[in-house]
Amino acid sequence: MATAKHVPQRTCVACGSTSDKRSLVRIVRTPEGAVEVDERGKRSGRGAYLCASADCWETGVKKKRLDHRLHTTLSAANRETLKQYAERLFQTQSV
């Protein structure tokens, strides 16, 4: 009898829904203090996850949910970088 492989579950910081790790986007605060998108999900640092939906990205960034979870304050440049990543993400989803 084969056992089912464990699928890591993570929670979106914006909407609170739980999903498998691969379906969410990880944002990481690196040990150097930089905040960036971790597309592979393997970078070291404090991480937070967002659903691939515009509402979750807006809530996570504008309502400072990412700031709280990453234990940092996002700079204007960080917010702009995340906004640009989200725009690219939603363009590829709609194609």
For residue 1, what pLDDT is reported? 62
Mean pLDDT by 10 residues, the chain (95 residues): 85 96 95 93 95 94 94 94 92 71
Q: Residue 84: which domain range?
A: 9-94
Q: Which domain CATH number covers 60?
A: 3.30.1230.10
Q: How many domains does the chain have?
A: 1
pLDDT at 17: 97
15: exposed, middle or buried (Cβ count in 10 Å: 0-12, 13-18, 19+): middle
pLDDT score, position 32: 93
Angle at 92 between CA 91 and CA 95, to 5 degrees: 90
Q: Is residue 1 part of a domain?
A: no
Helix (H) or strand (E) holding 19: strand 18-20
Q: Is there a domain that residue 58 lies in?
A: yes
Query: Which two tokens mark 50?
Result: 């967002």
